[in-house]
A and B are shown apart, each in its own frame.
Chain A
């Protein structure tokens, strides 16, 4: 069974731009969660989607948004990029509310 895939793997943007990241969960998994990983703040939860509905949200500004499609694929969007948004963005999927399997991440650099 294929693992969680994330595209693109690397991205370079400039301040003020917006970006969309994509995540395809493991087949059969209906929950997709997003995390931001930075050297300073570590791993922080962004939001979780289950059956196309946002079920949980972390403490991030409204510039960070997401959605989930009927096939469970998810996208997250960051608008008006800031330098501090440079991070590794990780997506995780799960079939039950316990094991979460992570993708390789998207490395976003904001210049």
Chain B
């Protein structure tokens, strides 16, 4: 079945760039998503990329998609302490409409 994998932790210095990586197994996914979760909160949709795109930029966020390697990444430029959170990569289940398969989440810690 569909599987989504992410590294669990990332620590960066304030002002540096953060890169969070994700790999997935199902190549039929049309959209791929990045969500952010802050402590005690629900999931915030950060951005998404359509599968026929290689890159999408949205202010400080850049999403790169390598379909051949089934690899998705999220780059956060000029990382701030407010970016400290858990970031989830999510892929729609094949044929599953709004059924998302989530990675385990990457905890981003930003230190001064």
A residues at B contact (CB < 8 Å): 4, 31, 33, 35, 42-43, 45, 48, 50, 55-56, 58, 90, 92, 94, 97-105
User: Chain B interface residue count: which class?
Assistant: 20 to 34
Cα A90 to Cα B33 in complex, Å, equals 17
- The reply to whether A56 and B99 contact each other, CB–CB distance below 8 Å, is yes
User: Of B31, B41, B93, B102, which is within 8 A of A43 by CB?
Assistant: B102
- Listed by A's residue number, 15 A-B pairs whose Cβ atoms lie within 8 Å are A31-B97, A42-B102, A43-B88, A45-B93, A55-B97, A58-B99, A90-B43, A98-B48, A100-B98, A100-B100, A101-B45, A102-B35, A102-B44, A103-B42, A104-B41
B101 proximal to A (CB < 8 A) = yes
User: Of A42, A45, A98, A103, which is within 8 A of B99 by CB?
Assistant: A45
- The reply to whether B104 and A56 contact each other, CB–CB distance below 8 Å, is no
Chain A residues near B43 (CB-CB < 8 A): 90, 92, 102
Chain A's nearest CB lies how many Å from the CB of B101?
7
User: Of B35, B44, B99, which is within 8 A of A48 by CB?
Assistant: B99
